[in-house]
């Protein structure tokens, strides 16, 4: 499993400069658009989705090189092959969290009271992207990067561009941020547990999909 994660990280590393350039351009465009209200949320979401795209890309890359036959000839358990993609995604989320925090920290110097929004924006980014990934991964395992990517893009559009969904998510985040002390920590823990449960369900579905693919 380590080898597969490392392989995906190596591949991502070879194109990391494009990822960073994409993030920088997106952040500049967002800052210039003047939507101060949702700026931190949008910046965080953009960074996270850029990283989530790397997960899609790793599937696309595997398909392009037809490496599934090689993968299946290696002495790896099916669980490891599926879990490697999930752990790779988790590592990317963690990296996106660090990069977003850094960008928001810098932006907070230029925007009055910006620092207050940082935790809410980060929680928002993690939540939305995790939800997208738990849906996207089984789709990619099932349909491959072409069909799976299209379905993912539609889902993403629903989540990001439907104002109602966006606003209600934002309200949830604001409620969490407005809570105090232990209550806020409880909210964080509940959110984390929900993400983990959804992740495990998603992993199980992906595993079943791959098992039926491998046995056919």
Partner 1 sequence: MSNDILTMHDVVIDGNGQLIGPLSFAIGTYAFAALIGPSHSGKSSIINAIAHIKPIKSGFLSVCGYTGKNKSQALKAQLGCIFEDSIFPYDLQVKDFRRLMGLIYDTWDANFYSSMLDTFSIDPSLQLASLDADAYLKFECALALSHHPKLLLIDESERLYSHSSRLELFTYIRTLLDNRSLAGALIASRSEMDLITYADQIIQLEKGSIVDSDEIDHCKTPVHASKSSKACEVSIS
Report, in Å, the least distance between residue 143 CB and partner 1. 19
The distance of closest approach from Cβ of residue 216 to partner 1 in the complex, given in angstroms and rounded to an integer, is 8
Q: Which residue has the tokens 């990067």?
A: 145
Q: Which of residues 93-132 bind partner 1 (CB under 8 A)?
A: none
Q: Does residue 15 interact with partner 1 by CB under 8 A?
A: yes
Q: Does 66 bind partner 1 (CB under 8 A)?
A: yes
Q: In angstroms, what is the minimal distance from the CB of 193 to partner 1?
A: 31
Q: Name which of 11 and 83 has its Cβ closer to partner 1.
A: 11
**According to the binding rule CB under 8 A, does residue 34 interact with partner 1?**
no
Exposure class string for 17-56: b at 16+ Cβ within 10 A, else e: eebeeebeebbeebbeeeeeebbbbbbbbbbbbbbbbbbb
Helix spans in 68-113 (H)? 68-73, 78-107
- The values of phi and psi at residue 133, to 5°, are -70, -40
Query: Which residues are CB-contacts of 76 (< 8 A; sequence separation ≥ 6)?
Result: 1, 3, 4
Task: Pick from 28, 29, 36, 74 the residue near partner 1 by CB under 8 A.
Answer: 74
Whose tokens are 């547990």? That residue is 193
By CB under 8 A, residue 10 contacts partner 1: yes
Q: Please report whether residue 17 would count as binding partner 1 according to CB under 8 A.
A: no
- Distance from CA of residue 126 to its chain's centroid? 7
Separation between Cα atoms, residue 124 and residue 144, nearest integer Å? 28
- Structure token digits, residue 113: 């009271």
- How many residues touch partner 1 under the rule CB under 8 A: the total is 22
Q: What is the smallest separation between the CB atom of 77 and partner 1, expressed in angstroms?
A: 6
- Rule CB under 8 A: choose which of 33, 37, 67, 186 binds partner 1: 67
Q: Does 91 bind partner 1 (CB under 8 A)?
A: no
**How many angstroms separate the CA atoms of 11 and 174, rounded?**
37
Establish if 73 lies at the interface with partner 1 (CB under 8 A). yes
Closer Cβ to partner 1, 174 or 212, answer by number: 212
- The site for partner 1 (CB under 8 A) is made up of 2-3, 6-7, 10-11, 14-15, 61, 65-70, 72-77, 215
């Amino acid at each position: 499993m380590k080898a597969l994660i490392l392989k995906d990280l190596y591949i991502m590393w070879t194109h990391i400069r494009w990822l960073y350039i994409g993030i920088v351009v997106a952040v500049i465009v967002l800052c210039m658009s003047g939507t101060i209200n949702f700026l931190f949320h949008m910046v965080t979401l953009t960074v996270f989705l850029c990283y989530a795209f790397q997960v899609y890309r790793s599937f696309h890359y595997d398909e392009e090189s037809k490496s599934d036959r090689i993968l299946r000839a290696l002495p790896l358990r099916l669980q490891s092959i599926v879990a490697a993609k999930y752990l790779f995604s988790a590592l990317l989320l963690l990296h996106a969290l660090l990069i977003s925090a850094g960008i928001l920290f810098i932006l907070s110097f230029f925007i009055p009271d910006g620092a207050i929004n940082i935790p809410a924006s980060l929680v928002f980014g993690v939540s939305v992207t995790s939800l997208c990934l738990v849906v996207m991964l089984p789709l990619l395992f099932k349909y491959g990067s072409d069909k799976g990517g299209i379905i993912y893009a539609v889902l993403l559009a629903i989540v990001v561009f439907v104002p109602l969904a966006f606003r209600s998510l934002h309200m949830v985040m604001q409620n969490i941020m407005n809570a105090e002390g232990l209550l806020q920590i409880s909210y964080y823990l509940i959110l984390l547990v929900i993400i983990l449960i959804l992740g495990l369900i998603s992993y199980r579905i992906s595993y079943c999909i791959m098992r039926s693919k491998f046995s056919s």
